[in-house]
Structure 1
Amino acid sequence: MDILIGLQWGDEGKGKIIDLISRDYDIIARFNGGANAGHSIYHNDKRITLKLLPSGIFYPHIKNIIGTGVVIDPLAFRAEVEQLQAALSDADLIHRILLSAKAHLVLPTYKYWDMYFEESPQYRTIGTTKNGIAPTYSNKILRQNVRVGDIFSNNFEAEVLQILTRQYLDLQALGQDMPMMQELYDDFLEACNFLKKIQIADTEIIINEALSNNKKVLAEGAQATLLDIDHGSYPYVTSSNTIASAACVSLGVSPKLIDKIYGVTKAYCTRVGNGLFPTEITGSLADELREKGGEFGSNTKRPRRVGWLDLPALKYAIMLNGVTDLVLTKADILSGMSEVPICTAYEINSETRDLTAPTSVDDSARPVWKFLDGWDIPFSKINQQAQVPKELKLFISFLEEELKIPVKYLSTGPQREELIILGN
């Protein structure tokens, strides 16, 4: 099994990369997060954003598995499937989807808990997407939630009603504006009935049987390394483990069966929401980079914060994930700059660090900069390695030397075909 993950704060272009390389796989398996993720892919010149569905959904030969570690909002799932069926004129795509029976369901009250926590002065403002992801994982850990396989239980409707009623009353007592309780309940059960159209199974058995039969499996991560609940820039992180090892837990696959680990990084950095961002830039240059790079949330449309490439954080992400191959995206967005800044280290308390955990860098840390010559070329003309400008080749060589791993793929634009393979 191979794994593909983001190495920064998300939005690195993972969806496009998976969409392109997935043609070589038999199974694409999503292993974390929920409908808070947004992978944008250009298919037949249409920009399509996938939230819950794995990025192999466009290929008829691929099984698309949503693993146990993912949390599934039935209403969001139904909407995404129906919208994609209409966009692709492909009613059969539901037969390419498998749901883990052990994946947890996002109940409709969880979104309102998200809203309450974000808007109440008594709690931290994290900058969540308010999709109910954190409350779902919280109730999973408390063992107070329902799972996908429970929809076939005779007690399912009564158990859901009990949970919703309790939470609804608690939210009302806290002053949270709520829709009608019966509406939430009915809409949720109707969406759960839609889930019954999808194959629901012990997906860990399906994946392991496929691997034993020499089938190729690609595990797809959502969000990115620096948003990992344990190793990211806590508390401004997502609510799941985003690193490569989480794929083994979520999908039920032994670490012995892992082969390639692809890590995706932009040629610069972005992040959405609150939290430390040491290489962040502001002002007109940030606005220009944001507009040129289309740096607005795939899911929320929020403008992303932008900054220069952070090598200490990138080294940390590569270490955590055991990355074997790098994928570099959005170098085309930096085209036209005379110099390209890279943060190579931090000075923290008179100590220079070239490898740092996100939580060890604070406002007093001073970035150490290296400036490489920029490149200026129409990237639409690049379709093979020989056409890559020498300045960009030097940029890539510098990354490979610093990070000790090869850059395997170079993205040259947003379209799925705009990707070239690098190397000897």
Structure 2
Amino acid sequence: MAIVPFLLSPSFDPLIQHNSKMDILIGLQWGDEGKGKIIDLISREYDIIARFNGGANAGHSIYHNDKRITLKLLPSGIFYPHIKNIIGTGVVIDPVALQAEVEQLQDCLSDANLIHRILLSVKAHLVLPTYKYWDMYFEESPEYRTIGTTKNGIAPTYSNKILRQNVRVEDIFSKDFEAYVFQILNKQYAELQALGQDMPAVQELYDNFLEACNFLKKLQITDTEIFINEALSNNKKVLAEGAQATLLDIDQGSYPYVTSSNTIASAACVGLGVSPKLIDKIYGVTKAYCTRVGNGIFPTEITGSLADELREKGGEFGSNTKRPRRVGWLDLPALKYAAMLNGVTDLVLTKADILNGMSEVPICTAYEIDGETRTLIAPTFADNVPKPVWKFLEGWDAPLNKINQQTQVPKALKLFISFLEEELKIPVKYLSTGPQREELIILGN
């Protein structure tokens, strides 16, 4: 299949007709808030689910037919036959990883039509096979700062994108593509070998990459920004799905321990080619506590047996890497910062069920820094680590996965939710009551 130019309907005027607006769903912490489950559940209300940033370093875990499935590159609407799933321009695509993910999901779901629900942007950049080994080298070499990356080659891809030295999806149709890739791989392979990096044979990397690029040609490859804008003009419902989370944003997060792309809501406009005028709801997902993976600041982090218990109970291990996540209590100043950056209109609260049975639930409501108390602050403290100011709310003790309506929510949890709404001035729209896809309650204002 060649690139498919998107055929506009005769009535489409991109400067006038926009009958619908795009919603965005964003993680408000350091990731792993449960975005995949939420998108999977609410996506039935949408016609298009679109990824706008990141790459195969983002693992969204979803329970489907009692099976735990981790999506890395595919948007979370992939389980629904009526939904078009777009991998937008701002995403970096590892062809080998995408082929493996699609084929594994096809086998798991016994769904041969799944492949027809995927659209790739012609402008999305490709992750070359040597990039993973550059990631490993930078992460493991004593000459460079250790970040704690997933070593999926994401940073080298974005770096070469900015240097204007990378290849995009559209290039796989070029007659010079294979020769150009072979040249790049051999050059980088020699450089990595000289640095002492262990790798498979270059021919193996090259052959696997080309095979996967040929697989990409089976997908719909088009100008996804035009596709989305016409869909909006035709009153279609679009949800932009964020990867990673706000506090890992390359510009606004806890640099340098961040991801390599912009993760906040405004990045959806750039990564998908949609005007900011066409944004409606912005859903922000937060856990009832905090976690993060990798290095970097974490003022509310807890350690020891309590941390181990919370980690085990919450299943706090990386979807991709299986690394144990660092855990801590809810950080309200950082949450206010994230809500401000994203312009959140509706909150989604997850993992409240993990705190079930605690006599009291700690929340960091402010920081003490240099003798000052601050209730809103960017999560960059250099060497001056702040002292959390704590508030303890009454705990709840009820099997949340057994309830299915708002009136059944325990009183203490209702007070916890009301406290968040009052502090953030944002309503909690959804409450997750367990890991299964249907364990979710819609809350009133």
Per the shorter chain, which TM-score range? over 0.9
> 1:227 matched to which residue of 2?
248
Q: Map 1:388-403 onto structure 2 (within 5 A).
A: 388-403=409-424
Instruction: Give, as a single letter, the amino acid of the residue that structure 2 aligns with 1:210.
Output: A
Q: Distance in 2 between matches of 1:88 and 1:293?
A: 27
Q: How does 1:304-315 map to 2 (within 5 A)?
A: 304-315=325-336
Structure 1 residues 267 and 362: alpha-carbon distance in aligned structure 2, compared to 1, 3 A threshold: farther
Question: 1:250, 1:181 → 2: CA distance?
Answer: 32
Match for 1:120: what amino acid? S
Q: Which runs of 5+ in 2 are unaligned?
A: 1-21
Q: 1:189-268 counterparts in 2 under 5 A?
A: 189-268=210-289
Distance of 2:55 and 2:200 partners within structure 1: 23
State the match for 2:425 in structure 1: 404
- How many residues are paired up? 424
Task: Find the partner of 2:305 among 243, 262, 284.
Answer: 284
The RMSD of aligned alpha carbons is 0.7
Alpha-carbon distance between aligned partners in 2 of 1:313 and 1:166, rounded to the nearest angstrom: 43
The answer to whether residue 81 in structure 2 is matched with residue 55 in structure 1 is no
Preserved contact between residue 64 and residue 97 of structure 1 (Cα < 8 Å): yes
1:361 Cα deviation from its structure 2 partner: 6.8
What corresponds to 1:8 in structure 2?
29
Q: Residues 238-387 of structure 1 correspond to what in structure 2 (within 5 A)?
A: 238-360=259-381, 362-387=383-408
Q: Which amino acid aligns with 2:188?
A: Q
Q: Residue deviations 1:270-316, cap 9 Å, x none?
A: 00010010000000000000000000001110000000000000000
Q: Secondary structure at the match of 1:57?
A: coil
Match of 2:173 among 152, 158, 171: 152
Other structure's SS at 1:358 match: coil
What's the CA shift for 1:161? 1.0
Per-residue CA deviations over 1:238-266 (Å, capped at 9, x if unaligned) read: 00000000000000000000000000000
Q: What is the alpha-carbon distance in structure 1 between the residues aligned to residue 92 and residue 393 of structure 2? A: 42
Report if the CA contact (8 A) 1:278-1:363 is conserved.
no
**% of aligned pairs identical?**
89
Matches within 5 A, 1:39-54: 39-54=60-75
SS at match of 1:323: coil
SS in 2 for 1:359: coil
Secondary structure of 2:380's partner? Answer: helix
Q: Answer yes or no: is the 8 Å Cα contact 1:276–1:362 preserved in 2.
A: no
Q: Does the aligned pair in 1 maintain the 2:353–2:401 contact within 8 Å? A: no
What amino acid is aligned across from residue 409 of structure 1 in structure 2?
A: Y
Work out whether residues 33 and 133 of structure 1, in 8 Å CA contact, stay in contact via their aligned partners in 2.
yes
Partner-residue secondary structure (3-state), 1:193:
helix
State the secondary structure of the residue aligned to 2:130. Answer: helix
TM-score, normalised to structure 1, is: 0.99
* 2:126 equivalent to 1:108: no
Instruction: Give TM-score, length-normalised by structure 2.
Output: 0.95
Tell me the residue number matched to 2:145.
124
Contact persistence 1:68–1:104 (CA under 8 A): yes
Shift of 1:381: 1.8
1-side partners of 2:174 and 2:71: how far apart?
A: 29
Find out whether 1:136 has 2:122 as its counterpart.
no
Contact persistence 1:26–1:215 (CA under 8 A): yes
In the other structure, the counterpart of 1:91 is 112
> C-alpha deviations, 1:14-69, integer Å up to 9, x for none?
00000000000000000000000000000010000000000000000000000000
- Paired AA for residue 266 in structure 2: S
Q: What SS is found at the alignment partner of 1:127? A: coil
How far off its partner does 1:364 sit? 3.4
d(CA) in 2 for partners of 1:253, 1:163:
33
Runs of 4+ in 1 over 2 A off after TM superposition: 360-364
Q: Superposition pairs for residues 12-31 of structure 1, below 5 Å?
A: 12-31=33-52
What does residue 423 of structure 1 align with?
444
CA contact (8 A) 2:90 2:271 kept: yes
In the alignment, is the contact (CA less than 8 A) between 1:348 and 1:361 conserved in 2? Answer: no
Mean Cα displacement is larger for which, 171-180 or 298-307?
Answer: 171-180
| Separation of aligned partners in 2, 1:186 and 1:201 | 25
- Cα distance, 1:108 vs. partner? 0.2
Distance 1:362 1:375 in 2: 37
Q: Give 1:83 shift.
A: 0.4
Q: Give the superposition deviation at 1:91.
A: 1.2
Q: Deviations over 1:99-136 (max 9, x none)?
A: 00000000000000001001100000000000000000
Deviation at 1:363, TM superposition (A): 4.7
CA contact (8 A) 1:5 1:14 kept: yes
Counterpart selection for 1:77 from 89, 98, 104: 98
Instruction: Report how far residue 322 of structure 1 moved.
Output: 0.2
Aligned counterparts of 2:59 and 2:300: Cα–Cα separation in 1: 24
Q: Which amino acid aligns with 1:150?
A: D
Q: Match for residue 167 of structure 1?
A: 188
Distance 1:159 1:209 in 2: 35
In the alignment, the residues of structure 2 paired with residue 198 and residue 244 of structure 1 have an alpha-carbon distance, to the nearest angstrom, of 27
Q: CA offset at residue 179 of structure 1? A: 1.4
Aligned residue identity for 2:338: A
Q: What whole-Å deviation, never above 9, does each CA across 1:352-377 have from its counterpart, x for those lacking one? A: 10001011375531100000000000
Provide the rounded CA distance (Å) in 2 between the counterparts of 1:144 and 1:166. 13
The alpha-carbon deviation at position 178 of structure 1 amounts to 1.9
